[in-house]
């Protein structure tokens, strides 16, 4: 049986349920790398050029950890998800980089997902991927349909129930706002915006979201807003979007700013090209609306202590502001 390795990094957080369904329907076994740890990060860092961004280094680390556990590794090149929108170069060149930097790697399954080129080329690429597993086009079709369905289910589960991707993937249901409100304080409403692969990778983000929740903060993430509202907000902020993931992030930022949350925290990684431009727009907007905004930039050296101090100071500031306003 073919064992497909899926690195628990980058687009994993967005598409894992779909990928898993697809491969399992085709009769393959799916192996997911364990959550990020220091050894993985170091092995990734040792391979890549120094100024490669952290998430890519982490993906490489995950791929290296999968080398002798599977017969092939799935690293798609997701180049475009809509008309005239693209993804960051590094996501597009991911399979090529992985192949160049991990020579001992087993075969890499690298379908090019380019919606811009039209349906035909998209289907062609997926069929090409499917041929590694089956020569029966009907079986493949069924797998694609099933994968799409589980993708939609995953999305709506996050949206309807307001749960985080990691919990949605693992099927763990948690009641929203499990923290009891304090005696006299209504919980703060803070929007946390950023790439899913930064926010939900507990190793990079230093468990930022659960830390916030433990401090009786109601956290809103981009996944909890409807796609429609987000893209409308992004369009209001920057016009026609060029990058799909980032316009979702700033769209969410704008959406929550308009919803008048108490504060917005943006989490980006050092060296992220799209974020370096896009977060600025949200920050500008937050300044206009006079809503506190904390831009956090993380990298492999960022310490937990420093992050906590900034977070505490930010929360204190937001709380004091609330009190003054009331």
Partner 1 sequence: MRVGIPNFGNSYIAVKAAAQKLDAGDNELVIPPPMTRRTLDLGVKYSPVEACLPYKLTLGSLIEACELGADTLIHARGTGICRLGYYAKGQEQMLHDLGYNAHFLTIDISQHKFRSIMRLIKDVTNGAPWPKIISAFYFAVGKLFALDKIEKVVHKVRALEIDKGTASQIYQEAIRAIDGAPNQREVKKLTRHYVDRLSKIPKNPKASPIKVGIVGEIYVVIEPFSNMDIEVELGKLGVEVHRTMTISRWVKYSLFLNYLGINEWRGVHKLAMPYLDHDVGGDGWESVGEKVLYSRKGYDGLIHLAPFTCMPEIVAQNIMPSTKEDIPVLAVLCDEQMAKQGLITRLEAFVDLLEFRRKRRDGKRA
Residue among 272, 291, 294, 315 that touches partner 1 (CB under 8 A): 272
Q: Does 48 bind partner 1 (CB under 8 A)?
A: yes
Distance CA 215, CA 221 (A): 16
Q: Cβ closer to partner 1: 6 or 92?
A: 92
- The answer to the question of residue 90 lying near partner 1 (CB under 8 A) is yes
281 binds partner 1 (CB under 8 A): yes
Sorted by sequence, the CB contacts under 8 Å of residue 174 that are 6+ apart come out as: 163, 167
Q: Cβ closer to partner 1: 89 or 156?
A: 89
* 19 Ramachandran zone, left/alpha/beta (phi>0; psi -120 to 50): alpha
Choices 38-46, 99-107, 192-200, 302-310; region in contact with partner 1 by CB under 8 A: 99-107
- d(CA 64, CA 47) in angstroms, rounded, equals 10
Distance of CA 17 to the CA centre of its chain: 13
What is the x/- site pattern for partner 1, positions 69-88, by CB under 8 A? --------x-x----x-xxx
Q: Is the dihedral of CA 58, 62, 154, 217 positive or negative?
A: negative
**How many other C-beta atoms lie within 10 A of the C-beta of residue 250?**
29
Q: Is 273 in the site for partner 1 (CB under 8 A)?
A: yes
101 interacts with partner 1 by CB under 8 A: yes
Nearest alpha carbon to residue 18 among 65, 78, 72: 78
Q: Near partner 1 by CB under 8 A, which window of 15-23, 197-205, 270-278, 302-310?
A: 270-278
Work out how close the CB of 253 gets to partner 1 at its nearest, in angstroms, rounded to a whole number: 15
CA distance readout (Å), 150 to 20, 80, 114, 146, 183: 9, 21, 20, 6, 41
Query: Considering CB under 8 A, how many residues would be counted as binding partner 1?
Result: 40
> Nearest distance from residue 79's CB to partner 1, in Å?
7
Angle (CA) 20 2 58, round 5°: 55
Among 92, 192, 198, 257, binds partner 1 (CB under 8 A): 92
| Least gap, CB of 129 to partner 1 (angstroms) | 15
Closest approach of Cβ 100 to partner 1, in Å?
A: 4
Of 58, 64, 70, 97, the one binding partner 1 (CB under 8 A) is 97
CB 44 within 8 A of CB 61: yes
Interface residue with partner 1, options 37, 174, 227, 276 (CB under 8 A): 276
**Dihedral over alpha carbons 306, 36, 293, 286 (to 10 degrees):** 160
**Interacting residues with partner 1 between 207 and 246 (CB under 8 A):** 238-239, 242-243
Q: Residue 146 is encoded by which pair of tokens?
A: 């099933």
CA 231, 237, 240, 245 torsion-angle sign: negative
Rounded to a whole number of angstroms, the minimum distance from the CB of residue 196 to partner 1 is: 19
Q: Percent helix, strand and coil across the chain, each rounded to 5?
A: 55, 15, 30
| Backbone torsions φ then ψ of 220, nearest 5 degrees | -115, 130
We find the least distance from the C-beta atom of residue 126 to partner 1, in angstroms, to be: 16
User: Among 46, 89, 185, 214, which residue interacts with partner 1 (rule: CB under 8 A)?
Assistant: 89
Using rule CB under 8 A, residue 46 touches partner 1: no
Q: Please, which residue, 38 or 287, has the CB nearer to partner 1?
A: 287
- How far is residue 177's CA from residue 175's CA, in Å, rounded to a whole number? 6
Binding positions for partner 1, rule: CB under 8 A: 48-49, 51-53, 77, 79, 84, 86-90, 92-93, 96-97, 99-101, 103, 112, 238-239, 242-243, 270-281, 284, 297
């Amino acid at each position: 049986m073919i064992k497909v390795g899926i690195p628990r990094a980058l687009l994993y957080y967005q598409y894992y349920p779909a990928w898993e369904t697809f491969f399992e329907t085709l009769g393959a076994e799916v192996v997911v790398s364990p959550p990020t740890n220091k050894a993985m990060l170091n092995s990734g860092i040792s391979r890549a050029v120094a100024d490669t961004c952290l998430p890519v280094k982490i993906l490489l680390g995950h791929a290296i950890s999968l080398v002798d556990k599977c017969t092939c590794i799935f690293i798609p090149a997701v180049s475009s998800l809509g008309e005239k929108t693209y993804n960051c170069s590094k996501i597009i060149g991911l399979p090529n980089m992985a192949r160049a930097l991990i020579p001992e790697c087993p075969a890499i399954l690298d379908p090019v997902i380019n919606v811009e080129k039209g349906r035909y080329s998209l289907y062609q690429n997926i069929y090409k991927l499917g041929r590694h597993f089956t020569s029966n086009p009907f079986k493949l079709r069924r797998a694609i349909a099933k994968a799409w369905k589980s993708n939609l289910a995953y999305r709506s589960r996050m949206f309807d129930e307001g749960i985080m991707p990691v919990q949605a993937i693992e099927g763990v249901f948690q009641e929203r706002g499990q923290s009891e409100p304090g005696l006299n304080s209504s919980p703060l409403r803070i929007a946390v915006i950023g790439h899913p692969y930064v926010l939900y990778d507990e190793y990079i983000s230093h468990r930022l979201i659960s830390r916030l929740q433990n401090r009786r903060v109601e956290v809103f993430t981009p996944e909890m807003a409807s796609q429609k509202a987000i893209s409308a907000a992004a369009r209001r902020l920057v016009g026609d979007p060029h990058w799909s993931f980032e316009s979702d992030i700033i769209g969410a930022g704008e959406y929550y700013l308009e919803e008048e949350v108490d504060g917005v925290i943006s989490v980006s990684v050092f060296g992220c090209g799209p974020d370096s431009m896009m977060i600025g727009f949200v920050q500008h907007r937050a300044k206009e609306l006079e809503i506190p905004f904390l831009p956090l930039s993380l990298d492999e050296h960022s310490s937990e202590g420093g992050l906590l101090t900034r977070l505490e100071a930010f929360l204190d500031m937001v709380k004091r502001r609330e009190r003054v306003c009331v």
